[in-house]
């Protein structure tokens, strides 16, 4: 089957049937603990392939037949469509294109890598974000004003729906009744996650301009996993529910609220970074950002400074996340993002080489470090997967650093741009980050990797406690749900 013929074929199937086949295959990727598609992928439609199929299904309007994928013969048609999606090579990913490899990494990163992040990390992160309060911002109040509910209700709903849509449960009459009950119980949450098919098409066509973008472009299913059509609503992609109640909610909260967007990085994100670091490996000293007297008056240090065994790490955290246009491989957006990252690396370099341990001394003792033991990281809320080597090369040009110099080698070996998730992995597995930084410094082949995390050992007390509490919380929710269902005589 040809890729561009898929819309014609899908018009022959009812919308309900198209949604049903999406749900069936998406459920295979979810277990009661979250997304679990890493294991046993052979023979299954991959998440991004099902998402592309679902997009075709929604956009292929004016259905004129009522065909089904239920029979053995008709199911082969579904397989043929998935294989057409699997084998399609969009124009920006043409091997002949100069930017092929850079585009490929962006596509892989933004369509696949985020799905591999443990859901428990994201729930932990966004529970902190949306329950944060201080004298400058009240995220709890802002969230409630925007979404009409407490974030914990979104988390509960997302977890329960994922559990009851998981591959571990058969969709029998009882499970269907329980799901219907959850929809009613959390109707105020559901209403914020559902979208009319017509509105979904309107939003999607505003950002998806041609069929090439169907495979890799931004899809609104991650914000609105439930689709309403003709008084029925569907959940075509259960594996995206956990994203819709975590990162997508932050995007929606800050999208039309510049005040919150501006204060979020400085107050919430910096606080989160310090909070999780404090509960992790026992470093000699951890210092938050502070004001000092510089050459131009009051100046600020970097956001977080860590010292251990004559090594130090200075971190600048940024609330950057990939734009919709970069997900669609728009050249201008990629170049703009790359320029921002170059500027951030340049700023990090200048701060470490001209201000740190000169204009201010952050630690209480041993503030003298040999250069090879000074590390710096720009930590991004979400990675855009821009080529790291290009960023270092362009930064060196701006700084007039020769690429065959010791200074350039130090910059590549010791200064990194990483995602918050990569940092969280080190923290939540109770690792000494300097072990990872030193390994990367001493192994040139890793200098331009997208992560510094190398291995997993043991979880720290906070994450172990959080996992335990969350599992207990889920069990309590299910027990409470069971009592309610018994009362309503849905189960005996």
pLDDT score recorded for residue 33: 58
Q: Please state, in angstroms and rounded to a whole number, the distance separating the CA atoms of residues 243 and 183.
A: 18
Domains contained in the chain, number: 3
| Burial group, residue 134, by CB count within 10 angstroms (0-12, 13-18, 19+) | exposed
Q: Which two tokens stand for residue 277?
A: 């670091």
Does residue 473 form part of some domain?
A: yes
- Return the higher-pLDDT residue of 382 and 40: 382
Does residue 269 form part of some domain?
A: no
160 Cβ contact list (under 8 Å, min separation 6) = 182, 474, 477, 478, 481
Does residue 453 form part of some domain?
A: no
Do 147 and 80 share a domain, yes or no?
Answer: yes
Do 20 and 151 share a domain, yes or no?
Answer: yes
**Whether pTM exceeds 0.95:** no
Do 223 and 136 share a domain, yes or no?
Answer: yes
Do 113 and 201 share a domain, yes or no?
Answer: yes
- Which residues, listed in sequence order, are joined to residue 219 by a DSSP beta bridge? none
Evaluate if residue 37 carries a pLDDT over 60: no
155-164, 283-292, 374-383: segment of lowest average pLDDT: 155-164
Other C-beta atoms within 10 Å of 405: how many? 11
Do 361 and 401 share a domain, yes or no?
Answer: yes
Do 43 and 169 share a domain, yes or no?
Answer: yes
Q: Average pLDDT of 91-108?
A: 81
Do 440 and 483 share a domain, yes or no?
Answer: no
Do 295 and 413 share a domain, yes or no?
Answer: yes
First to last CA, the chain: 49
Mean confidence (pLDDT) of the chain: 88
Does residue 268 form part of some domain?
A: no
Confidence class for position 234, pLDDT limits 50, 70, 90? very high
pLDDT score recorded for residue 366: 80
Do 420 and 488 share a domain, yes or no?
Answer: no
pLDDT score recorded for residue 200: 97
Length of the chain (residues) = 492
- Which residues, listed in sequence order, are joined to residue 374 by a DSSP beta bridge? 312
H-helix or E-strand containing 30?
A: strand 30-31
Does residue 474 form part of some domain?
A: yes
Q: Please state, in angstroms and rounded to a whole number, the distance separating the CA atoms of residues 479 and 327.
A: 41
Range of the domain at 489: 459-492
Do 246 and 285 share a domain, yes or no?
Answer: no
CA distances from residue 218 to 47, 73, 111, 248, 307 in whole angstroms, order as listed: 14, 32, 9, 12, 40
């Amino acid at each position: 089957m040809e890729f561009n013929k898929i819309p014609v074929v899908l018009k022959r199937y009812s919308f309900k049937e198209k949604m049903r086949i999406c749900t069936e295959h998406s459920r295979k990727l979810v277990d009661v603990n979250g997304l679990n598609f890493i294991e046993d992928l052979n023979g299954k439609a991959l998440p991004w392939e099902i998402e592309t199929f679902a997009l075709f299904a929604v956009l292929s309007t004016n259905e004129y037949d009522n065909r089904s994928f239920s029979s053995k013969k008709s199911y082969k048609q579904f397989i043929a469509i998935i294989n057409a999606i699997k084998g399609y090579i969009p124009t920006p990913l043409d091997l002949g294109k100069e930017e092929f490899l850079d585009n490929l990494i962006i596509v892989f990163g933004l369509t696949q890598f985020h799905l591999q992040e443990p859901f428990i990390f994201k729930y932990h992160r966004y529970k902190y974000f949306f329950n944060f309060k201080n004298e400058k911002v009240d995220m709890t109040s802002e969230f409630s004003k925007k979404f009409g509910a407490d974030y914990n209700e979104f988390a509960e709903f997302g977890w329960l729906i994922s559990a009851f849509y998981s591959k571990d449960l058969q969709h029998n009459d009882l499970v269907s009744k329980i799901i219907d009950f959850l929809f009613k119980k959390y109707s105020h949450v559901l209403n914020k996650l559902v979208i009319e098919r017509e509105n979904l098409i309107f939003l999607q066509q505003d950002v998806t301009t041609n069929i090439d973008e169907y495979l890799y472009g931004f899809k609104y299913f991650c914000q609105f996993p439930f689709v309403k059509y003709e008084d029925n609503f569907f959940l075509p992609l259960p594996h995206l529910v956990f994203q819709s109640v975590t990162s997508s909610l932050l995007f929606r909260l800050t999208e039309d609220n510049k005040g919150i967007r501006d204060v979020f990085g400085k107050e919430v994100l910096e606080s989160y970074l310090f909070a999780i670091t404090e509960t992790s490996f026992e470093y000699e000293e951890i210092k938050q950002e502070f004001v000092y007297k510089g050459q131009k008056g009051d100046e600020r240090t970097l956001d977080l400074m860590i010292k251990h065994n004559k090594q130090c790490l200075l971190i600048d955290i940024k609330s950057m996340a990939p734009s919709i246009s970069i997900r669609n491989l728009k050249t201008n957006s990629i170049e703009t993002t790359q320029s921002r990252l170059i500027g951030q690396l340049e700023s990090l370099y200048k701060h470490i080489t001209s201000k740190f341990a000169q204009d201010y001394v952050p630690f209480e003792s041993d503030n003298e470090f040999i250069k090879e033991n000074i590390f710096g990281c720009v930590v991004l809320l979400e990675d855009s997967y821009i080529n790291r080597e290009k960023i270092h090369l362009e930064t060196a040009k701006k700084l007039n650093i020769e690429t065959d110099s010791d200074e350039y080698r130090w910059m590549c070996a010791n200064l990194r741009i990483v995602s918050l998730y990569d940092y969280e992995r080190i923290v939540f597995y109770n690792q000494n980050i300097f072990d990872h930084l030193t390994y990367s410094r001493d192994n040139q082949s890793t200098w331009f990797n997208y992560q510094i995390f190398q291995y997993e050992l043991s979880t720290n007390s906070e994450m172990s406690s959080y996992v335990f509490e969350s599992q207990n919380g889920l069990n309590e929710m299910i027990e409470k749900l069971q009592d309610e269902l018994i009362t309503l005589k849905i189960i005996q």
